[in-house]
């Protein structure tokens, strides 16, 4: 599963049922009860030709299907801002008069992390003399994702005819100028919350300054873009997807 994106799981569950009950006498489709979902899970399926939906509110909640046709349409969306793996419990109640007519198995759900939308606020108007410098007034806020897997990258764009930006790369900060009007700033170490605090401290300490190009007069525009990047390793990181509704970046312009 990819965080933030509903995906069909019903067909996989029916495939799992055929594996735990191969061949033999077929008394008919069992009643299938699914449970052990984390709170906030969203389930949707087709029922009698229309859409049905259920949001899991807490432990003990479950959903029951009496038709494979409906079960196979089941989609699952994991709780918002979570990349925690979990196991769905599948309980089968077989029709008929068997002594042992109830069996269970687990269906693992592996959740791949994706970055979530941060926020940036930049002062919209500043004045500076041609021979002076002025610090950028910027604040950034990471997403509400609390799995500590994200980091923020701040990118600046500035027309070189208007001026340049100056910054400090003393640990734990890395301010990089690329020579084409593009700059980046990152904070290293700690967790996601502490890195956000460090970046805001960097700005309140007036360590990013705009310096006008000599002879330039007029309005200079500095675009400040904050990008949310996942830091998890290996297969726990979801591939880039155009269907994820949660954008990864936010921009502001200071003039």
How many CA atoms lie less than 13 Å away from 67 in the CB half-sphere?
A: 9
- Residue 119: predicted pLDDT: 63
- How far apart are the C-alpha atoms of 175 and 207, rounded to whole Å? 10
Q: Is the pLDDT of residue 157 over 70?
A: yes
Q: pLDDT tens digits for 102-150?
A: 678 888 888 776 666 666 677 655 666 666 788 888 888 876 665 566 6
- What is the number of alpha carbons within 13 Å of residue 29 lying toward its C-beta? 13
CB neighbour burial string for 206-217, b if at least 16 within 10 angstroms, e if fewer: ebbbbebeeeee
**Number of residues that this document lists for the chain:** 255
| Confidence label for 246 from pLDDT (cuts 50, 70 and 90) | very low
Across 135-144, 162-171, 188-197, 241-250, which has the greatest mean pLDDT? 162-171
Q: Which CATH number fits domain 119-254: 2.40.160.20, 2.60.40.830, 3.40.50.2000, 1.20.120.450?
A: 2.60.40.830
Give the DSSP H or E segment for 19. helix 10-20
Q: Rounded to an integer, what distance in angstroms lies between the CA atom of residue 119 and that of residue 225?
A: 9
3-state helix, strand, coil split of the chain in percent (to 5) is: 10, 40, 50
Distances (CA, A) of 8 to 53, 78, 80, 88: 13, 12, 17, 14
What is the average pLDDT across 89-113? 75
The alpha carbon dihedral of 227, 144, 150, 234 has a sign of negative
Name the residue ranges covered by the structural domains of the chain.
7-109, 119-254
Is it the case that residue 26 has pLDDT exceeding 60? no
Provide the mean pLDDT of the chain: 77
What pLDDT does 242 receive?
A: 46
Q: Which residue has the higher pLDDT, 168 or 80?
A: 168
Please check the confidence at residue 250 and state whether its pLDDT lies above 70: no
Distance CA 166, CA 33 (A): 61
Look at 30-44, 88-102, 131-145 and tell me which has the smallest mean pLDDT: 88-102
Q: Is the pLDDT of residue 43 over 80?
A: yes
**What's the confidence (pLDDT) of residue 73?**
92
If phi > 0 it is left, if psi is from -120 to 50 it is alpha, else beta; for residue 243 that is alpha
């Amino acid at each position: 599963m990819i965080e933030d994106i509903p995906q069909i799981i019903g067909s996989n569950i029916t495939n799992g049922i055929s594996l735990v009950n191969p061949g033999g006498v077929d008394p008919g489709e069992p009643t299938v009860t699914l449970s052990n979902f984390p709170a906030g899970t969203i389930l949707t399926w087709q029922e009698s030709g229309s859409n049905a939906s259920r949001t899991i509110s807490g432990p003990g909640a479950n959903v029951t299907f009496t038709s494979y046709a409906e079960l196979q349409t089941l989609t699952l969306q994991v709780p918002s801002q979570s990349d925690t793996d979990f196991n769905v419990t599948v309980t089968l109640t077989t029709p008929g008069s068997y002594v042992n007519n109830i069996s269970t198995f687990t269906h693992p759900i592996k959740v791949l992390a994706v970055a979530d939308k941060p926020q940036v606020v930049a002062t919209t108007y500043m004045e500076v003399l041609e021979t002076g410098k002025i610090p950028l007034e910027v604040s950034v806020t990471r997403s509400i994702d609390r799995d500590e897997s994200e980091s923020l990258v701040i990118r600046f764009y500035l027309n070189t005819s208007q001026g340049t930006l100056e910054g400090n790369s003393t640990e734990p900060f890395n301010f990089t100028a690329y020579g084409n009007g593009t700059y980046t700033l990152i904070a290293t170490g700690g967790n996601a919350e502490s890195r956000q605090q460090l970046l805001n401290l960097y700005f309140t300490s007036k360590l990013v300054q705009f310096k006008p190009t000599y002879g330039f007069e007029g309005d200079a525009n500095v675009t400040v873009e904050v990008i949310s990047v996942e830091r998890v390793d290996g297969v726990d990181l979801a591939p880039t997807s155009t269907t994820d509704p949660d954008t990864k970046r936010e921009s502001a312009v200071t003039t």
